[in-house]
Structure 1
Amino acid sequence: MIDQATLFTYVAILFGFVLIPGPAVIFTLAQASRSGTKVGVSTGFGIAAGDLVHTAMAVFGLSAIIQTSALAFTIVKIVGATYLLYLGIKAMFTKVETIELAGGKAVTAKQAFRQGAIAEITNPKTAMFFLAFLPQFVKPENGSAALQLTTLGVLFVLIGMGSTLLVAFSAGAMSRFLQRNQFVMRWQGKVVGCIYCALGVRLAFQEK
């Protein structure tokens, strides 16, 4: 079972992610703005379904590595932390373009769910993120690694889905806010980048 300190840290980081408008939030917001709340909600469920697939793949893949070798899993964690550092530095220095939420073709709820799920499942960056992110919070002394990974993954999906559903229901107000306050999008990359880098540094100090 995951210890309380690790779980608290993990959940706090997740809330840090969901409070910052990322790709899933912007996609849900665009769908809801164009086609209504129902479509936005379906988009959120589709994204969550895609994240569940990534969670399952991460659990099976990482569990196999752990069963093979504790050293191999440590290497995976270090490589993952390095990848998060790379993402963090890249996010802090990448220029974010002004978002455009207007326009586009309206879709049905069924189409929105399918689009959200397919976009999330087929995104290799999402797969890499799960493989890099989840192992940072797995500790051998906390018992079954597979159970820890599953718990972490499901929490990620639930909190992320809560975020996208909130966006779907408040799409109008949030869309107007982001259009008036473009600095939010300009700074979100820097904030997310800092979170990624902090995770990488956290592991570096943890290993010492």
Structure 2
Amino acid sequence: MTNLNFLLIGAGIGLLTSAPVGPVNIMTLRHAAAHGVREGVTVALGAVAADLLYAALAVFGVSAVTGFVTGHEGLIKLAGGALIFGFGWRVYRSRPHMDPQAGAASALTDMVAAFLLTLTNPGVILGFVAILGGLGTWRPQPGDTSGALFLLAGVATGALVWWSGLCWGVSHMSARVDSSWLARANHLAGALLMLFGVGIYADLLIRWLV
């Protein structure tokens, strides 16, 4: 695996983990719709910072216990696949609502709120551990600090691409963004998460059959 591979894998993870619609996404959408791309992305940076912190803990944590992970990779993938599929199902079935009245909080205030909301969500760290644990040989190996850093850079890049694109789209289509739009976004994100979970089980089945 090259650093470019890790960068691309990280970007995919960043996109995937940023897509599900929740309170942070709705705050971001409100700011983008009311005040433009820059303010929306400013709010989103809080979530990106928290995601990056948890991703770093997951990357270096998984590397630190790589002996355990290698010895119990099958069990980790079983648990991780179930967790990711369950989370995807919950995202798919969720029905987010967007209040048309944007709050009076500034973008910087909501950026801090986004950071704290993401940081206090236990599903975030569990999600990163499950996804990175499920990567198997596609994750950086022990001692591969460069690979780990490129993976983290990819996570940040993927998340920023998602948030920037979302804010740009919302700022140009603010009149069309409603609860129905948010629900469709969740359906897509949930389906992708469930597909990732199924892929982990498919990989396990192929390994056991071979």
Same fold (TM over 0.5): yes
Q: Is the 8 A contact 1:134 1:152 kept in 2?
A: no
**Per-residue deviation, residues 78-107 of structure 1 (Å, max 9, x unmatched):** 211110111233333x2414422x224322
**Per-residue deviation, residues 20-41 of structure 1 (Å, max 9, x unmatched):** 5633443311233355554323
- Closer, same or farther in 2 for the Cα pair 1:14/1:42, shift >3 Å? closer
Q: Is the 8 A contact 1:48 1:157 kept in 2?
A: yes
Task: Establish whether residue 205 from structure 1 lines up as the match of residue 202 from structure 2.
Answer: yes
Tell me the TM-score normalised to structure 2 length. 0.76
Tell me the TM-score normalised to structure 1 length. 0.76
Spell out the pairing of 1:89-100 with structure 2 (5 A cutoff): 89-92=89-92, 94-100=93-99
Q: Is the 8 A contact 2:51 2:118 kept in 1?
A: yes
- Closer, same or farther in 2 for the Cα pair 1:107/1:161, shift >3 Å? same
Quote the Cα distance in structure 1 between the aligned partners of 2:169 and 2:3: 35
Quote the Cα distance in structure 2 between the aligned partners of 1:45 and 1:97: 21
- Closer, same or farther in 2 for the Cα pair 1:143/1:39, shift >3 Å? same
Q: Where does the alignment leave 5 or more consecutive residues of structure 1 unmatched?
A: none
Task: Kindly state the Cα deviation for residue 61 of structure 1 after the two structures are TM-superposed.
Answer: 2.1
Task: Establish whether residue 117 from structure 1 lines up as the match of residue 139 from structure 2.
Answer: no
Quote the Cα distance in structure 2 between the aligned partners of 1:39 and 1:172: 10
Q: Is the 8 A contact 2:15 2:158 kept in 1?
A: yes
Identity %: 19
The code of the aligned residue for 1:187 comes to R
SS of aligned partner of 1:139: helix
Task: Kindly state the Cα deviation for residue 190 of structure 1 after the two structures are TM-superposed.
Answer: 2.9
Q: Is the 8 A contact 1:10 1:137 kept in 2?
A: no
Aligned to 1:160: 159
Measured on the aligned residues, the alpha-carbon RMSD in Å equals 3.3
Q: Where does the alignment leave 5 or more consecutive residues of structure 2 unmatched?
A: none
The code of the aligned residue for 2:162 comes to S
Quote the Cα distance in structure 1 between the aligned partners of 2:4 and 2:38: 36
SS of aligned partner of 1:190: helix
Task: Establish whether residue 77 from structure 1 lines up as the match of residue 77 from structure 2.
Answer: yes
- Give the alignment partner of residue 181 of structure 2, picking from 163, 184, 201: 184
